[in-house]
Amino acid sequence: MENLTLREIVDRYKKREFDIVAWNQSFIDIIKEKEPDIHAWAYFNETEWLNKLENVLENHPVKFSELLGVPVGIKDIFNTIDMPTCMGSPIWEGFTPGNDARVVHNIKFQGGFTAGKTITAEFAVHTPNETRNPWNRDYSPGTSSSGSAAAVAAGMVPLSIGTQTAGSIIRPASYCGVYGFKPSFGTLPRTGMLKTTDTLDTIGMFANNTDDCRLLFDVMRVKGLDYPKVNNNLDNISYQKKNNKKWKIGIVSDQHTSAKGFTGYAKAAFTEFIKDLENNPAMETGYPVFPETFNKAHSVQEKIYHKALSYYFKKEFENHTLISPVMYDIVNDGKKISVDEYHKNISLQNELAEQIDGLFNEYDVLVTLSTAGYAPEFGTAIDPEDTCLIWTMCGLPVINIPLFNYNKMPFGLQVIGRKYQDYKLLNFVEELVAGFKQ
């Protein structure tokens, strides 16, 4: 059962070859066993879970059933009509929005259902919460999609959704040893979710394999005449193919060599991985030259992020209803950034995105480490610096592959694709992972 993809599970259930009720009960049993130590859930109710499952199995149209009977963990910043949405803040404790976020609606439309709400940092920023790393309780699961990553890693749920403004999909996925997929900016609808930064917030997911990522992406993404640019690219088969017979892979390594935060064992593991790539006859490697703007990315992202947070949380800041010192520091810093400076950095964001897009004329994908190493200690608010936020700023699709392990703790490989080449990225990762298994 562990080796089956969700497509296979749903298909076997439809053929009466799989007990999907028992499968769901196994997740509930794991939650009851592990949740007291891991704390992945902001809201979980066993009776509601089983009632929803019974309802979709009995009443959901077979025509729209790609996720039939599949429970999905929902980061607690997405509106849910049947559960509270508290956004990691006591200010919103017990709040029920009365509607579903668009992505939650899309999950339900295909027969999936909300298993529960997973814990997030306060307003999905940096503040550590009570969630522990399933591999070792003394370590962080990463913020801010901590509960979503930990729930999948602990076997509490097969899928979960989260968000990334800098690295909040990739880092938790790396630290928790699961697949994390942040699709291209604009491909997943943000209606009905907490907004912190207009040009950065991106929805993503956690899963146990790339096929499950692909399935959930297909279910949640925008479709139809209202989204011509997204659809014309995602549905263009030729645009989703590799450029030549071999995959051309750009190696991002200089940043690891010069960065103080990257550990020696992580850099060594990445070096060994590159050697394997270079010996793979189906792949060709190279070292792209990044624009000078690349080195300014962290500063640009910080100014955009802090200014946006100071705007969206002005009232909470003035009323002293925020709970974490980190949020007060960020909002206070954002207030000092002028509107003109904010717009200047938005222009720099667009410039960087355009320049990095040009690299994909030569390379199919880029590869780098997801994080500087395995998870930091529990309670760490700011993770060691990495390149995650750069790809987020450029709106690019990225995937964490749970590839490496050190000191019995996981950390991942990050693969980056061109904007709107999400399926091409998934195709590459599937081929790469298949090679590992041979």
Query: What is the three-state SS of the chain?
Result: CCCCCHHHHHHHHHCCCCCHHHHHHHHHHHHHHHHHHHCCEEEECHHHHHHHHHHHHHHCCHHHCCCCCCEEEEECCECCCCCCCCCCCHHHCCCCCCCCCHHHHHHHHCCCEEEEEECCCHHHCCCCCCCCCCCCCCECCCCCCHHHHHHHHCCCCCEEEEEECCCCCHHHHHHHCCEEEECCCCCCCCCCECCCCCCCCEEEEEECCHHHHHHHHHHHCCCCCCCHHHHHHHCCCHHHCCCCCCEEEEECCHHHHHCCCCCHHHHHHHHHHHHHHHCCCCEEEECCCCCHHHHHHHHHHHHHHHHHHHHHCHHHHHCCCCCCHHHHHHHHHHHCCCHHHHHHHHHHHHHHHHHHHHHHHCCCEEEEECCCCCCCECCCCCCCCCCHHHHHHCCCCEEEEEEEEECCEEEEEEEEECCCCHHHHHHHHHHHHHHHHC
For the question of residue 229 being annotated catalytic, the response is: no
For the question of residue 75 being annotated catalytic, the response is: yes
Catalytic residue selected from 34, 52, 65, 75: 75
Catalytic residue selected from 65, 145, 146, 168: 168
For the question of residue 144 being annotated catalytic, the response is: yes
Catalytic residue selected from 65, 140, 144, 160: 144
> Could you give the residue numbers annotated as active site?
75, 144, 168
